[in-house]
Amino acid sequence: MRFKIIMAILIVGFVGVVSVLVISGKLGKPNIPSTLSFTESQYDFGTISMKNGNVNHVFTIKNTGVEQVIVSKLHTSCMCTEASLTVGDKTEGPFSMEGHGSVPKIDVVIPAGGEASVEAIYDPAAHGSSGIGKIERSIFIDSVGVDRTEIKFKATVTP
């Protein structure tokens, strides 16, 4: 009888620990590496002038995995940068820096083998004279069940 009580306590305890780990995300489907690949993950605008206005670049993304990827958020490292995501004929954005305005959940699906594009728009005049010199900015792509993906661009800003 005592053996049965001890076994029941151990089983209930084990099930409780496993349940807590699954609910907290520490057990179950692991955080798998991203299946998003880029023709380029960095871009150099070279030398740009504040007086010439915004510059933009389009990054191409491919889902190289066997499952769809759901992009939940797109945001940037600075308010001087905006980013938009296009899959097929649907565009979401532009979005900017998280915590400075609205960066809503978008839940855009990139099918297995599918492609998308991220347009980066940089305003070299956004920081005024304190923005002169070398800069580097990032665009973050948050996806459900995969690691955060980051693409970058850099430039040298002149007046």
For CA atoms 135, 138, 124, 48, the dihedral sign is positive
For residue 94, cis peptide bond before it (omega within 30 degrees of 0) = yes
Residues 25 and 42 in one domain: no
What is the domain count for the chain? 2
Residues 7 and 49 in one domain: no
Residues 80 and 103 in one domain: yes
Q: Average pLDDT per run of 10 along the chain, which is 159 residues long?
A: 62 54 49 75 96 97 93 94 96 89 86 96 95 96 88 97
β pairing state of 115-122 and 81-87 = antiparallel
Residues 51 and 120 in one domain: yes
pLDDT value of residue 64: 92
Do 157 and 50 meet the contact criterion of CB atoms below 8 Å apart? Answer: yes
Range of the domain at 21: 1-30
pLDDT value of residue 15: 53
pTM of the model: 0.76
Q: Indicate the DSSP class of residue 144.
A: T
Residues 47 and 95 in one domain: yes
Residues 4 and 65 in one domain: no
Do 80 and 137 meet the contact criterion of CB atoms below 8 Å apart? Answer: yes
Residues 26 and 96 in one domain: no
Q: Tokens for 77?
A: 């490292």
pLDDT value of residue 112: 93
Residues 50 and 14 in one domain: no
Provide the strand spans (E) within 33-132. 36-38, 42-49, 55-63, 69-76, 81-87, 90-95, 108-110, 115-122
Residues 134 and 93 in one domain: yes
pLDDT value of residue 99: 80
What distance in Å separates the CA atoms of residue 120 and residue 15, rounded to the nearest whole number? 48
Residues 24 and 67 in one domain: no
List of residues 6+ apart from 1 with CB closer than 8 A: none
What distance in Å separates the CA atoms of residue 83 and residue 33, rounded to the nearest whole number? 23
Residues 88 and 13 in one domain: no
Show the CA angle centred on residue 38, arms to residues 33 and 39, nearest 5°.
150
Residues 1 and 51 in one domain: no
